[in-house]
Structure 1
Amino acid sequence: MPISARRAAIAALTVVATAVAGCSSVRTHPDAKGSAHSGAPGPSSSSSGPGGSIPVGPGPQPAYTVQPQPSPGSCHVRHTAGKQPLPDAKCTPGATNPKVTAATLKTTICRSGYTKGIRPPVNITSREKKANAASYAYTGPLHDAEYDHLISLQLGGDPNDPRNLWVEPPSPGHRPGAGPNNPKDVVENRLKAAICSGKTDLTKAQEAIAHDWTTAEAVLGLKQ
């Protein structure tokens, strides 16, 4: 075979080999993509609130069920400089009620009697409270601790999302056996009034109370 013909044949074989390799690469690509997809985590079970930091709960239910709690001893109480107890942000970040938005205030939290109609019954929360006490390693009398909504119902907190409820130990000055003494309730009442009168924003109030109820009013510019 002439040298020129031999060179042409070699060049042709090189082109064919390159094309075959390219086809093999293309054929294996979908499989690799499929494997990566199947191993990827699915969508998160929790979504973020309007501020991007507070989970959104399932909202009011026609019939509540006992919710699972964090494993025993996995949650740790924090304290403010004034010794007020705060929850573990990993266990209890708060959760909002999706039915309560800036557009629905008049028919939800700013309507008299709204929270009474969405509150879980005691036969549900009493069992959750006992389990959550173990989560926080709380060993005091349950009667003296409040099973507290971190974001209260009147501020648009979710009624029974376990991320929004915790066994809140007594505040300083508590008399043993006297039941909960929770000065947080007073702050919640004032924040609700501020929301319903337009003095503060719903989402900002929720974020402030979830972070630290003792500083919430100051953060929102409501502290006199």
Structure 2
Amino acid sequence: MNTVCNSSALKRRPRPHATRARTHARAHAADQGLEHRLRNGLELGGAPRDPGNLWPEPHYGTKTASTKDGTETKPKNAVCNRTITLSAARSAIKNNWTTALQVTGVG
């Protein structure tokens, strides 16, 4: 939790390796209109170098990659305020980020 709630520690976290991301993206070449991003983002301590943490997110529609960024912020703030556990926040995002705010009660 210290790393998740410490903004300077988050800035020092390694970013996903570009080659790994490109390789994963090529493996899903049919997924046009998608961006391969971290399932559990850095805000919640997601593993940036774990290929299993990369997954496709759409650029179009109502639930997009940029929408998910905002959704991750509220649970992260709730974790830092000790309203919910880090485990609950990660689980809600991983299981279905579109319902994570309702599931955790922070939205």
TM-score band w.r.t. shorter chain? 0.7 to 0.9
User: Which residue, 151, 158, 164 being the options, matches 2:40?
Assistant: 151
Shift of 1:202: 0.6
Distance (whole Å) between structure 1 residues aligned to residue 31 and residue 102 of structure 2: 33
Root mean square deviation, CA, Å: 2.1
Residue by residue over 1:132-185, the C-alpha shift from the partner in whole angstroms, topping out at 9 and shown as x without a partner, is 123333353xxx643311001111211211111124231316xxxxxx852000
Counting helix residues as a fraction of each chain, which structure ranks higher?
Answer: 2
Q: Any conservation in 1 of the 2:25–2:36 contact (CA below 8 Å)? A: no
Query: Where does the alignment leave 5 or more consecutive residues of structure 2 unmatched?
Result: none
1:104-138 C-alpha deviation (Å, 9 max, x unpaired): x23x11112222211226xx32x222221233333
| Aligned equivalents of 1:132, 1:168: Cα separation in 2 | 13
- Equivalences for 1:133-148 in 2 at 5 Å? 133-138=25-30, 140=32, 145-148=34-37
Distance 2:85 2:65 in 1: 28
- Structure of higher RCO (CA pairs closer than 8 Å, 6+ residues apart): 2
Q: Does 1:111 align with 2:3?
A: no
* Secondary structure of 1:146 counterpart: strand
Q: Is the 8 A contact 1:129 1:166 kept in 2?
A: no
Q: Residue 90 of structure 2 aligns with which residue?
A: 206
Q: Is the 8 A contact 1:200 1:220 kept in 2?
A: yes
CA distance in 2, matches of 1:196, 1:148: 23
Instruction: Give the TM-score normalised by the residue count of structure 1.
Output: 0.43
Is 1:131 aligned to residue 20 of structure 2? no
Match of 1:164 in 2: 53
- Structure 1 portions without partners, runs of 5+: 1-104, 174-179
Q: Percent identity?
A: 34
How many residue pairs get aligned? The number is 106
**Among candidates 169, 188, 196, match of residue 72 of structure 2:** 188
The 3 A distance-change label for structure 1 pair 157 and 181 is closer
How far apart are the structure 1 equivalents of 2:31 and 2:100? 29
Distance 1:196 1:167 in 2: 28
Q: State the one-letter code of the partner of 1:172.
A: G
Alpha-carbon distance in 2 for matches of 1:192, 1:154: 7
